[in-house]
Structure 1
Amino acid sequence: MSVDELEKEQAPKHVNLGLVGWLRWGWRTLTSMKTALILLFLLALAAVPGSLVPQRGVDPDKVARLYQQSPTLAEWYDRFQLFEVFTSVWFAAIYLLLFTSLIGCVVPRAATYARELRRRPPDAPRRLSRLPHSTSFEADLDVEEAARRLRGLRFRVVTGDGWVSAEKGYLRETGNLLFHVALLGILLAVGFGSLFGYRGNVLVVEGDGFANTVAAYDRFIPGSQVSAESLQPFSFQLTDFKASYQVTGDKKGQALDYTAHLKVNDTPGSPTRDYALKVNDPLEIDGTQTYLIGNGYAPVFKVTDGKGQVAFEGPVPCLIESKATMISECAVKAPDAQPSQLGFLLRFLPTSVPLTNGAYTSAFPGDLQPEVQLFGGYAGDLGMRSGTPQSVYEIVPPELKNKIVPVVRGTEASKPLAVGQSVELPNGAGKLEYTGVKHWITIQTAYDPGRVPALIAAGAAILGIALSLQIRRRRVFVRTGKGVVEVGGLTRTEGSAAGFAEEFADIVKLLSAGEKDVR
């Protein structure tokens, strides 16, 4: 055979796997432990944006503020579903791949573990001196007595002609299997909660109420198996909201406590009960939890139009501009004003103080001296009768800017209005009166039937990983005869030989002890 023919013969041959072959290769790759670990890492990594980027389902106010401050960035975030990370397509893809991978890992592992439990320890080797741990001593110890003493140490024992084989540490694999099953349980619980659970957000002003119905929510995210009849029929009224702040020292203005006082009806017609809703202390009714997630100010305004009629009167929730001082921005709209609709842009200052440059700011987040600055008054078509939804924090959408006329312009140096003061619009267009201050809160209700199963599964996962890390698989062999006892041992867990040396010495000491000493 020539050199060329020999090289051609030894060259690797191309193997055509075919469709079935590629599917088998893909399944083996997906269900390997390495792939499962990679997917678990990707799932943790994918959850990071959910902590860094405000989520619509948790803090819609921050999302609205981001759209105001950085509209281009907010649009890109929305394009990649970063405002809804945990319901995004790419997060669900990782979740489902991990779920499939874990099933492919757990099922074969469970079958292997079942076979391992039925398997008896191997026969004792003939030459125990070759094992990592071995010793011998003179004693009159028979096989049955050696087996009895090892059973007392909870070893699984088998005996033969002049030898004893013992094994211990099966719980290590139990813990490993429990950990993977628990991970699968967590994914199942999360999926079950996504199907049959729901969550929603709503803003409530002092004095207003809330009923747990789909129409009452500002934002409602139901599971695919949730209907309007699935919601628990509770309701409450926000009677008062109190916020306390640090008033002295370096941390002046830091929030100390938030409390929303509610009048709650667990079911229609049930007795009303008082409840103090606090951060991380939710109201729970029939498995539905109501959380306090945000608060702000809602100054009360009265708008009189050019014909002397009251076109609007009530509180207006303001969007927080500065969390440290609670400076907020408000938009007041009067779509029923005559002869033209009126709109106002205002800035709310909880504790208004003048600056040396003539501007005004807030020195404290509490409402010690609440005032509002009028930044702009507008007349014209606000687009509120077009049927197109609008943000409550802006006067008109950008496409309607040319249909309104500024009638009042203000700056940060404009003298703010105190409670009870008003401003007249030029040419008899109307009047804006600032009449008081209320608070608003944002709440999130969440019903998650998978919450408790997920907690149980997480506890099982911690137990499983603890068993897997703390317990080691080890074997002990004993040979007896002619007044000499040989003992050998080894571990089946990598890296645990040093810890086994002390245990092996204790086993040898027990086996070499006399009958009287053992008892």
Structure 2
Amino acid sequence: MTVDELQKETPQPAKLGLVGWLRWFWRTLTSMKTALVLLFLFALASIPGSLVPQRSVEPDKVALIYQNDPALAEWYDRFYLFDVFTAPWFAAIYLLLFVSLIGCVLPRTSTYLKELRRKPPTAPKNLSRLPYHARAEGELDVEEAARRLRRLRFRVATGPGWVSAEKGYLRETGNLLFHVALLGLLVAVGMGSLFGYRGNVLVVEGDGFANTVAAYDRYMPGSRVSAESLEPFSFTLKDFQASYQLGGDKRGQELDYTAKLSVNDSPESPARDYDLKVNEPLEIDGTQTYLIGHGYAPVFRVTDGKGQIAFDGPVPCLIESKPTLTSGCVVKVPDAQPEQLGFLLQFLPTSVRLTDGSHVSAFPGQLNPQAKIVGAFSGDLGVRSGKPQSVYQLAPDDVMKKLKPLAMGSKAPPPLAVGQSFDLPDKLGKIEFTGVKEWMTLQIAHDPGRMPALLASALATVALVMSLMIRRRRVFVRIKDGAVDVGGLTRTEGSGTGFGEEFADIVKALSAGEKDVR
């Protein structure tokens, strides 16, 4: 027989085809192993959201990364690391896990319901082969044995000379409820994404905020949210108070900070005072306002070359050093005449002079506030070009190259204390440091899935405890010639620990007299 003839006679494996491959993919996706892998990936994918600043929570830190390392920031942005929880790859894991859990829960629920209707199996003929075996004392018939086991909350089936009992079905109930709770948690997250919204805003002392789309620095609505969905509340930041550790190894560490607000729950409601803290959000009609950060906004006044006040107001500064709150400030003066002016400054909350003549901040509180001029420029800042610009950057790189640096003399000007000013060269005007305010950053969130997520998490915890603590076990009784043999086993792998004591109590209950049982 030739090789070709042999190959023709040898049975060839059937090809799966499109339907077969789809069936294989579905079975693989809905297997418990795949669900566990996806759950692990879901948790793993959430880690970058804790390690990398998120635009929705810490936009100032994201801006600082762009300022200090633009190349790294571009790579982060390319892989959605600044927006982890809205990234396509995170959504893919989320949806696959959702489908996998549904595929796991539905068939297991059907199997479990059939198991609940099934009676315990017939007792084995030789109970001595079971892991637990003993002989009960006294006389006992089938009906009495069944009654006593029912009093111990066993499901019972009887036959000629035997009793079969089983309990522990709540273990599988807990297992299924755990998976249902995970589905509920995913649904709650989806509800928040569809019908909720989040936004970030920076508010300086003395300024206010109204809950409208235009008032947000960054606004992220769900796909089912419109501008009319926002609750019409407003507030004004009257004062911001921060306290710091004054001495010891933790000198300068934040102890507490509070934003004192004047809140209007609606346009018609009267104002009320509220102290906003980190762990005490302001809640109005299901919308939570969280205090997530703070910093300084020194106040500058810029007079141009024609003697006109071209700028006068606070400038929110980007924190450069968290321990001392040394901050970088940018002042843009596009209305200055005859040329536009721009300043790069460094704010020092507690300025101290070093031996080399330089100045640094030694403490985050306002003990000796000073503003150091890092650079001054004239020329077109590009703010009227129509292209958006960052408030923390003087100008884009291409525009920055065209600006003219102003000569400060042979030595850098000393830092300005409150009330001091610096005259610009070429009679272009002057800049004056007039005071210090503070700013706070807020996250305002409306999440209708927040309470369902809490309930689902609580249910998952209870269900997990049930599935870990409850054991599925069976007890059999055979009565022959007045002898009562009892056997038992656990149906859950690795759960035999502790059943020996329970089995001994069961044998004791079967051996007890009528008065003892009652």
Deviation at 1:73, TM superposition (A): 0.3
The change in CA–CA distance for 1:410 and 1:443 in structure 2 (over 3 A counts) is farther
Deviation at 1:365, TM superposition (A): 0.2
In 2, Cα distance between equivalents of 1:496 and 1:89:
42
User: Contact (CA 8 Å) 1:138, 1:483: kept in 2 or not?
Assistant: no
| 256-265 vs 481-490, which moves further | 481-490
Q: How do 1:27-176 and structure 2 match up within 5 A?
A: 27-176=26-175
Q: How do 1:281-430 and structure 2 match up within 5 A?
A: 281-409=280-408, 414-430=413-429
In 1, Cα distance between equivalents of 2:438 and 2:213:
24
Counterpart position of 1:217: 216
In 2, Cα distance between equivalents of 1:366 and 1:410:
31
C-alpha distance after superposition, 1:152-185 (max 9, x if no partner): 1110112122211110000000000000011011
C-alpha distance after superposition, 1:460-481 (max 9, x if no partner): 1111111111011101111123
| Structure 1 position 446 matched with structure 2 position 441 | no
User: Contact (CA 8 Å) 2:302, 2:432: kept in 1 or not?
Assistant: yes
In 1, Cα distance between equivalents of 2:5 and 2:146:
61
| Structure 1 position 244 matched with structure 2 position 216 | no
Deviation at 1:148, TM superposition (A): 1.1
Deviation at 1:483, TM superposition (A): 1.7
In 2, Cα distance between equivalents of 1:106 and 1:10:
45
The change in CA–CA distance for 1:142 and 1:3 in structure 2 (over 3 A counts) is farther
In 2, Cα distance between equivalents of 1:386 and 1:5:
77
In 1, Cα distance between equivalents of 2:297 and 2:407:
22
User: Residue 135 of structure 2: SS of its match in structure 1?
Assistant: strand
The change in CA–CA distance for 1:79 and 1:411 in structure 2 (over 3 A counts) is farther
The change in CA–CA distance for 1:176 and 1:412 in structure 2 (over 3 A counts) is farther
User: Contact (CA 8 Å) 2:136, 2:507: kept in 1 or not?
Assistant: no
Deviation at 1:269, TM superposition (A): 1.9
User: Residue 92 of structure 1: SS of its match in structure 2?
Assistant: helix
In 1, Cα distance between equivalents of 2:374 and 2:71:
25
User: Residue 83 of structure 1: SS of its match in structure 2?
Assistant: coil
User: Contact (CA 8 Å) 1:421, 1:435: kept in 2 or not?
Assistant: yes
Deviation at 1:12, TM superposition (A): 7.4
| 83-92 vs 494-503, which moves further | 494-503
User: Residue 82 of structure 1: SS of its match in structure 2?
Assistant: coil
Deviation at 1:426, TM superposition (A): 1.1
In 1, Cα distance between equivalents of 2:402 and 2:428:
16
Residue identity matched to 2:254:
A
Residue identity matched to 1:118:
R
Deviation at 1:404, TM superposition (A): 1.5
User: Contact (CA 8 Å) 1:31, 1:102: kept in 2 or not?
Assistant: yes
| 408-417 vs 271-280, which moves further | 408-417
The change in CA–CA distance for 1:12 and 1:192 in structure 2 (over 3 A counts) is farther
C-alpha distance after superposition, 1:240-264 (max 9, x if no partner): 0000000011111000001000000
Counterpart position of 2:188: 189
Counterpart position of 1:208: 207
In 2, Cα distance between equivalents of 1:63 and 1:359:
29
The TM-score, its normalising length taken from structure 2, stands at 0.97
The change in CA–CA distance for 1:197 and 1:502 in structure 2 (over 3 A counts) is same
| 284-293 vs 125-134, which moves further | 125-134
User: Residue 456 of structure 2: SS of its match in structure 1?
Assistant: helix
In the comparison of the two structures, how many residue pairs are matched? Answer: 518
In 1, Cα distance between equivalents of 2:179 and 2:47:
23
CA RMSD between the two structures: 1.7
The gaps in structure 1 that reach 5 residues or longer are: none
In 1, Cα distance between equivalents of 2:282 and 2:137:
72
| Structure 1 position 509 matched with structure 2 position 477 | no
User: Residue 311 of structure 1: SS of its match in structure 2?
Assistant: strand
The TM-score, its normalising length taken from structure 1, stands at 0.97
C-alpha distance after superposition, 1:389-446 (max 9, x if no partner): 1111121111112331111448996410000000111121111011000000000001
In 2, Cα distance between equivalents of 1:506 and 1:461:
32
In 1, Cα distance between equivalents of 2:82 and 2:503:
58
C-alpha distance after superposition, 1:309-334 (max 9, x if no partner): 11010000000000000000101111
User: Residue 252 of structure 2: SS of its match in structure 1?
Assistant: coil
Counterpart position of 1:485: 484
In 2, Cα distance between equivalents of 1:412 and 1:149:
98
User: Contact (CA 8 Å) 1:375, 1:409: kept in 2 or not?
Assistant: no
Residue identity matched to 2:212:
T
Deviation at 1:498, TM superposition (A): 3.2
C-alpha distance after superposition, 1:450-495 (max 9, x if no partner): 0100110111111111111101110111112322111111110011
Deviation at 1:358, TM superposition (A): 1.0
**Identity fraction in percent:** 71
User: Residue 82 of structure 2: SS of its match in structure 1?
Assistant: helix
User: Contact (CA 8 Å) 2:331, 2:344: kept in 1 or not?
Assistant: yes
In 2, Cα distance between equivalents of 1:131 and 1:89:
54
Residue identity matched to 2:52:
V
C-alpha distance after superposition, 1:263-305 (max 9, x if no partner): 0000012010000000121000001000000100000000111
User: Contact (CA 8 Å) 1:359, 1:413: kept in 2 or not?
Assistant: no
User: Residue 373 of structure 1: SS of its match in structure 2?
Assistant: strand
In 2, Cα distance between equivalents of 1:13 and 1:94:
38
User: Contact (CA 8 Å) 1:360, 1:412: kept in 2 or not?
Assistant: no
Residue identity matched to 1:186:
L
Counterpart position of 2:234: 235
The change in CA–CA distance for 1:410 and 1:63 in structure 2 (over 3 A counts) is farther
C-alpha distance after superposition, 1:213-262 (max 9, x if no partner): 00000000110000000011100000000000000111110000010000
User: Residue 122 of structure 1: SS of its match in structure 2?
Assistant: coil
Counterpart position of 2:278: 279
User: Residue 299 of structure 1: SS of its match in structure 2?
Assistant: strand
In 2, Cα distance between equivalents of 1:230 and 1:34:
42
The change in CA–CA distance for 1:411 and 1:387 in structure 2 (over 3 A counts) is farther
The gaps in structure 2 that reach 5 residues or longer are: none
User: Residue 47 of structure 1: SS of its match in structure 2?
Assistant: helix
User: Contact (CA 8 Å) 1:373, 1:412: kept in 2 or not?
Assistant: no
In 2, Cα distance between equivalents of 1:63 and 1:228:
26
In 2, Cα distance between equivalents of 1:165 and 1:207:
78
